[in-house]
Amino acid sequence: MRTVYKKKAPCQLKRPARQANISPDVFQRALDDIRNKVKSVRQAAADYNSPKSTLFGYVKSKRVPGNQTYSSKFVSRQLFTDCEEKALAEYLITAANMHYGLNINQVKELAYNYAVANSKKVPDNWWVNGRASKDWLKGFLQSLIQPLFTILMKLGFKQFTDQAKLLQRKAENKSDALRLAKKEKRSSFVQLLMQ
């Protein structure tokens, strides 16, 4: 009898629930309406598009929201500051531009050494392995993603296809289209890169 092995699913951390981004003045108005008994907690949550449990917590604890900040609380688990992450990213880009790109393990070791040099409190598995974890690297790389390049590529592709359609309309048959394409000295995509 043959043994069948099941493949394990890849390890992925469960992401926390999305935090509502509410401006502090809107949040303050909602709390004022609740405290002045103008609206109930549910009505204020619906009207101001804010989570009712958060509003209820502030009302119940009688906290003064003027002294509070309403920013994300996930910064407390952030290992590097934004400035340090930016410096690390700039170093990696500079190394890649000098044709000395680092592989994944070297980037993890660099992050570990950078954290130790800056006296950061690192997780235990970093100490054991002597490098950063996969999860940190994944989060770090995702924080660096900028959608600008994708938008530019879509724009270039759209201009290229528009130019191709224009050439097809000018030509009656395929041979004329090829002749016209060779006549054009630069395609629209090359012109986009030259600008």
Q: What is the pLDDT of residue 129?
A: 92
Q: Is 93 helix (H, G, I), strand (E, B) or coil?
A: helix
What value does the mean pLDDT take over residues 41-48? 89
- Closest by CA position to 85, among listed 133, 137, 15, 14: 137
Residue bearing the bigger pLDDT, 191 or 87: 87
Residue bearing the bigger pLDDT, 147 or 189: 147
Identify the domain containing residue 45 by its residue range: 24-61
The answer to the question of residue 129 being in a domain is yes
CA distance 146 to 187: 27
DSSP string, 41-82: HHHHHHHHT--HHHHHHHHHHT--GGG---S-SGGGG-SS-H
Q: Do 129 and 81 fall into the same domain?
A: yes
Alpha-helix runs per DSSP H in the chain: 24-35, 41-48, 52-61, 82-97, 104-117, 124-129, 134-144, 148-170, 174-183, 188-194
The total domain count for the chain is: 3
Q: Do 133 and 176 fall into the same domain?
A: no
Q: What is the pLDDT of residue 153?
A: 66
Q: What is the pLDDT of residue 189?
A: 46
Q: Do 81 and 106 fall into the same domain?
A: yes
